[in-house]
Structure 1
Amino acid sequence: MATTVRRTRITLPAAPIGPENPLPALLAPDDVSGPDGPGASGDRTTPHDPDAPRTLLPVRRLDAYGRRRVATEFDALVVENDRLRVTVLPALGGRVHSLLHKPSGRELLHRNPVVQPADFGLAGAWCSGGIEWNSGATGHTTLTCAPVHAARVPAPDGGEMLRLWEWERLRDLPFQVDLWLPDGSDFLYVGVRVRNPHQHTVPAYWWSNAAVPETEGLRVLAPADHALRCGDHHGTRRVDLPRDGGTDITYPTRSLHAADCFYDVPAAARPWIAALDADGRGLVQTSTAALRGRKLFVWGTGPGGRRWQEWLTEPGTGGYAEIQAGLAPTQREYVHLEGGAELSWLEAYGPLAADPAAVHGTDWTAARAAAGDALEAALPGAEVDAAHAAWLPQADVEPKEVLATGSGWGALEVLHDGFELPGTPFETALLGEEQRPWERLLHTGTFPESSPGRPAAPGPTLVAPHWRELLEAAEAGPLTEYHLGVAQWHAGDRAQAVRSWERSLRHAETWWTLRCLAVADAEAGHAHRAADRHAAAFRLAAEAGDRAGAALAREAVPALLAAGRADEAQRVLEALRPADRERGRMRLLAARVLLALGRARDARAVFDEGFEVEDLREGEESLHETWDAIALALVADGGPVTGSVRERARREHPLPATYDFRMRPAT
């Protein structure tokens, strides 16, 4: 059959992602796993990363999802030839949901049967499975649960190709992903381009992550003799493959704890990574030389890793590992893209079969050579290079039929600067309600203010220098000063941000400005003033019936506890709407408040009643730490806390499996 690109719809049990958190993300995404945890060189940013974004701005967090899944229809785009059927979900960042090899009937990816958001992404909500395209900054892209633009375009061989594109907002860089199947090919070709239309240099980041079924006997191979491994409590270390100590870490099911393994692929070697089962069959990913990095991520076989795997899907679904490919050797590094420059490369995904005796032999050199030779026979490296060269002229071809629509933010940036971006149109017709105030600021020099009687909650703030300059020149008003303060905070000028927010308060007392000042107070070490302002912001939102109440309470309660004001924290929880009060995050906070009030038995009862923290962060330790603190209080019963008391607490009050999400060994 000729290669086709078509629309369809698929139905999946899905938990709705919900609305954006209305509070601006003033702080950088947390590295909750610590400097030597699974995310140390992998999935989080920390202050010592010089290229890490200062904040998540201008993106807003997605954390309003739950765990109740309902049958949901998703628009899907299918690229198909007589060998492969590729299913893409444009509403989930252009994720490849399925890669089916038709002759064998084999699904090459871990195809998650549900859509269950979890707090793994830079912006919060993230879903597991398939292939995802991560751009912007260290971690799962802010677009992972957001729609992207999609269109049908001509492929290099004259057939059809699916184009995905969007404007990545952390770095203000447009990107595109072109997917096609050469006639009769067993391999999906993916052409990727990242462009810097600005005059200044920008740190560029890209990692393509493919989830593969984690079967017993699965081995992950790449053309490397060494690797950088991060995980458990051993820190980041260089190891000689295939072992780390006594464990062969190239087998995902032999790792006890979650870990990242970055293969040290030599510059002269063809870059690839393959996940092959006990029979020597599985998925291989290869690319042109620009995409140099290769990584294996495993959850580990410990109780925490198993619990996370269950959390992300439905009972009875097998686990998965991730094979990944990136621009830099590790996920802490960026490629600096000069103004006006672009990066492009070609990836290929397809089935691979190699001699299982060699693949699973004790000789690592022979094992990876067997996989590499099988890849060269199935898809020579010269063909990948030639396909990249043939695709480049097609990358500028304008889409002939739009199949899905993303956001209007790229259109606003193009309107501001007049960028010419052949192949990826960001037309003014895409501008929506969130972009309209900024379009008015651009055209009139004035930011539209809300009614003074009852000011409306502000939309997202744009923080790039060119928007900050427009805000600085605009006539002062409560919204203008608020947005200016957010932009100044992002730029690192915190004192000026505080002054702008204080001016905004003089115009009108609003919960959004009070909350920003509360964050600034906490960062400056003023715990009591921060608690005052967090509590005041919550009261204002509650009085107005604003939906921001739950988001504000999530910050106000810990701030009040930090200031030693547990009774006020309890009143905040009691003032929440019943539906918000019953969410898992609020139940956890309720247990912490009860413990701070000296009511350990009541705190334990909250756990005994059962709850799920829907937005539990990857690597977050508050759940088991709260349990441990309750257990210790029950055993100590007001007496001194000694080593024997701690041991007795662990023995008499073991953490229930349902609450065990620990990704590192207990200490």
Structure 2
Amino acid sequence: MATTVRRTVLTLPAAPVGPPNPLPALRPLDEMHAIDERTRAELPREMARQIGYEPLRTLLPVRVLDGYGRDRAAADLDAIVIENDHLRATVLPGLGGRIHSLHHKPTDRELLYRNPVFQPADFALNGAWYSGGIEWNIGATGHTTLSCAPLHAAVVPAPDGGEMVRLWEWERLRDLPFQVDLWLPADSAFLHVGVRIRNPHEKPAPVYWWSNIAVEEHATTRVLAPADEAWHFGYERSLRRVPVPEYRGADRTYPLRSEYPADYFYEVPPEARKWIASLDAAGQGLVQTSTDTLRGRKLFLWGSGRGGRRWQQWLTEPDTPGYAEIQAGLARTQLEHVRLDGGEEFSWLESYGPLAADPGTVHGEDWGAARAEVEARLADALPREAVDAAYEAWLPCADAEPGTRLARGSGWGALEVQRGGHKLPGTPFDESTLGEEQAPWRELLTSGVLPEPRRVAPPGPSLVAPHWRDMLETAPADPLTEYHLGVAQWHAGDLAQAVRSWERGLALAPSRWPLLRCLAVADQEGGNGQRAADRYLEAFDDLCQERRDDGEAWTAALAALAREAIDALLAADRPADARSVWSRLRPAVRQRGRFRLAEARLLLAEGRPREARAVFDEGFEVADLREGAEILNEVWAATTDDPLPDAYEYRMRPQG
């Protein structure tokens, strides 16, 4: 059959993502992939330089997504299917453009780990993320902020005269447009993926990219890559060079032979072909390969310990198979960012398809022979020269203008194109995509004035790039402008000036709580916990008085502010004030797992450990538990000496 592209609907049990957190993300990133300066000094020079190259201070201008729960109901998800005689790829443009499924038709085998549910969890840089399939991680170390966001999608001409699917968006952490072209030639058993990241600005930009592939994991699953060494990163936040495959008495290329979650960034020689494969007991599975620009390869494993097993259940359903992740990136590790000069671009081609190799050799004790067998079978199925030729064939199509539109992303790219006058052939950011969130910023751009909102509501998102900060500095200094200006100054590292802007705005603000909350965060970062607690309490009082209804936006604001206020008040040893905040929440909010945990902490602070233990015994689920968080076992240990129940076991590293 000729390759076809069609729309469809995928119905899955799904938990809604929920509204964005309206509080600007002022705090430093809580990113697990971090090392100290002493460790960095011992690394190879290029790696150390790229690890230190412009790490993010905050998530701004992106908002945190933490409004989801654990209640799932059947939901219809828009999908795009790309299909030929060999493969059927199912893409979710509304959820980061993720490839949900890659089905090999001749053998009736699914090549990916296909999650049977959509369940957000706190793994993305900005919160909501979900497991399974192939995701496109761009921005900064971690899972992309676009994990649960819509991308633009359209049909474009393919190099072989057929059709391919283009996904594109404006990545806001680094202010860079990117595109992902999915091309399945009519006679091919490999899906080609052309990726381009452009820097339309005059100054260089730090770039991060990792294609993350979830594959089913069994006791006999083995991950192979062309390397004899790897950089091991554990959740103890250590990075060290280790041998492959044996390390500390176990073959770590079998994901279930490790106890705790870990990353293995393979040291692939520069001249070697770039590939990674996950094969089962029969020597069958998925292989990913690429042109040489995509140099890094990685295995992430959950391990066989209690915490890793519990996380896997949490991200899907208890009876589904586990999964590991095989990944490919621009750098050797995910701690690094790569410089992209102004006016330049990165582009490469990836290929995904089935692979069958001799199982005895693949699972034999000779690692070199196992690698050679996989590489030979890959050369038979898709020679290295064929990948390079496909890349050269795709490049002239990268600028082709999209035809039939399949999905719509955000309006932020259109706003940036209007501001900067960028010419981006192949990835149009149409004015028609501008929406309510962009409207006040478009007004600032055209008139020099940030308009007052038409109704009382929590403030909309802030923009923080230098050009927007400059516009805010010259706009009339009303309270809302001072609020957004302070956020932009904070993001730029000008903390003292941010505080001055917020204090000026506070003097005349009809809505005081957004500014008070920003000042409270500044107090916390400055080490003034008691003043931060005072300001949080005042902010919460003001929000309770200002709240207009029980709508989604106000409920999200109240829950987000209450969570921060309770933490600050407990840290300041003021449990009575923390209790007053908790008690003013609506019963439905207090029943959320995050606030059940807060109740247990309150009870402990009030000297009532038995009642705190009872909260755990009744059972609760913290829907937005952060990757690597140990708060559950810490609070449990303060209530009892009993072992932590499996339901609360999420530790990703050894105790101590």
Q: Which residue of structure 2 lines up, in the alignment, with residue 321 of structure 1? A: 324
Q: CA deviation at 1:235?
A: 2.9
Matches within 5 A, 1:193-342: 193-231=196-234, 233=236, 235-342=238-345
Q: Which amino acid aligns with 1:475?
A: P
Q: Which residue of structure 2 lines up, in the alignment, with residue 103 of structure 1? A: 106
Q: Which residue of structure 2 lines up, in the alignment, with residue 10 of structure 1? A: 10
Q: Distance in 2 between matches of 1:446 and 1:237?
A: 52
The answer to which of 282-291 and 544-553 deviates more is 544-553
**SS of the residue aligned with 1:133?**
strand
Q: CA deviation at 1:315?
A: 2.4
Q: CA deviation at 1:184?
A: 1.3
Q: Which residue of structure 1 lines up, in the alignment, with residue 131 of structure 2? A: 128
Q: CA deviation at 1:72?
A: 0.0
| Cα distance, 1:471–1:420 mapped onto 2, change above 3 Å | same
Q: Which residue of structure 1 lines up, in the alignment, with residue 86 of structure 2? A: 83
Q: Which residue of structure 2 lines up, in the alignment, with residue 588 of structure 1? A: 597
**SS of the residue aligned with 1:91?**
coil
Unpaired segments ≥5 residues, structure 2:
44-49, 548-553
Q: CA deviation at 1:33?
A: 7.4
Checking the alignment, whether the CA contact within 8 Å between 2:59 and 2:173 is kept in structure 1 is yes
Q: CA deviation at 1:450?
A: 3.6
**SS of the residue aligned with 2:342?**
coil
Checking the alignment, whether the CA contact within 8 Å between 2:51 and 2:337 is kept in structure 1 is no
Counterpart selection for 1:663 from 642, 652, 655: 652
Q: Which residue of structure 1 lines up, in the alignment, with residue 169 of structure 2? A: 166
Checking the alignment, whether the CA contact within 8 Å between 1:155 and 1:180 is kept in structure 2 is yes
Q: CA deviation at 1:294?
A: 0.2
Count of residues paired in the alignment: 637
Matches within 5 A, 1:388-403: 388-403=391-406
Give deviations 1:373-407, integer Å, cap 9, x for gaps: 11011000000000000101100000011100000
**SS of the residue aligned with 2:197?**
strand
Checking the alignment, whether the CA contact within 8 Å between 1:32 and 1:620 is kept in structure 2 is no
| Cα distance, 1:309–1:507 mapped onto 2, change above 3 Å | same
Counterpart selection for 2:559 from 539, 550, 554: 550
Q: Which residue of structure 1 lines up, in the alignment, with residue 614 of structure 2? A: 605
Checking the alignment, whether the CA contact within 8 Å between 1:410 and 1:426 is kept in structure 2 is yes
Counterpart selection for 1:518 from 517, 520, 524: 520
Q: CA deviation at 1:49?
A: 4.3
Checking the alignment, whether the CA contact within 8 Å between 2:489 and 2:495 is kept in structure 1 is yes
| Cα distance, 1:248–1:111 mapped onto 2, change above 3 Å | same
Q: CA deviation at 1:32?
A: 4.9
Give deviations 1:568-623, integer Å, cap 9, x for gaps: 11111110011111100001011011101111111111111110000000000111
| Cα distance, 1:25–1:205 mapped onto 2, change above 3 Å | same
Q: CA deviation at 1:541?
A: 1.4
**SS of the residue aligned with 2:94?**
helix
**SS of the residue aligned with 2:424?**
coil
Q: Which amino acid aligns with 1:536?
A: E
Q: Which residue of structure 1 lines up, in the alignment, with residue 472 of structure 2? A: 471
Q: Which residue of structure 2 lines up, in the alignment, with residue 150 of structure 1? A: 153
Q: Which residue of structure 1 lines up, in the alignment, with residue 551 of structure 2? A: none
Q: Which amino acid aligns with 2:227?
A: A
**SS of the residue aligned with 2:192?**
strand
Q: Distance in 1 between matches of 2:338 and 2:430?
A: 29
Give deviations 1:356-380, integer Å, cap 9, x for gaps: 1111111111111111111011000
Q: Distance in 2 between matches of 1:456 and 1:80?
A: 46
Q: Which amino acid aligns with 1:578?
A: P
Q: Which amino acid aligns with 1:567?
A: A
Q: Distance in 1 between matches of 2:602 and 2:291?
A: 54
- TM-score computed with the length of structure 2 as normaliser: 0.96
Q: Distance in 1 between matches of 2:599 and 2:121?
A: 21
Checking the alignment, whether the CA contact within 8 Å between 1:166 and 1:176 is kept in structure 2 is yes
| Cα distance, 1:386–1:207 mapped onto 2, change above 3 Å | same
Checking the alignment, whether the CA contact within 8 Å between 2:31 and 2:142 is kept in structure 1 is no
| Cα distance, 1:222–1:427 mapped onto 2, change above 3 Å | same
Query: How large is the RMSD of aligned CA atoms in angstroms?
Result: 1.4
Q: CA deviation at 1:544?
A: 2.1
**SS of the residue aligned with 2:238?**
coil
Checking the alignment, whether the CA contact within 8 Å between 1:261 and 1:295 is kept in structure 2 is yes
Give the fraction of aligned pairs with identical amino acids, expressed as a percent.
66
Checking the alignment, whether the CA contact within 8 Å between 1:3 and 1:181 is kept in structure 2 is yes
Checking the alignment, whether the CA contact within 8 Å between 1:33 and 1:620 is kept in structure 2 is no
Q: Which amino acid aligns with 2:437?
A: E
Q: Which residue of structure 2 lines up, in the alignment, with residue 571 of structure 1? A: 580
Q: Which residue of structure 2 lines up, in the alignment, with residue 27 of structure 1? A: 27
Checking the alignment, whether the CA contact within 8 Å between 2:235 and 2:628 is kept in structure 1 is no
Q: CA deviation at 1:625?
A: 0.5
The reply to whether residue 559 of structure 1 matches residue 560 of structure 2 is no
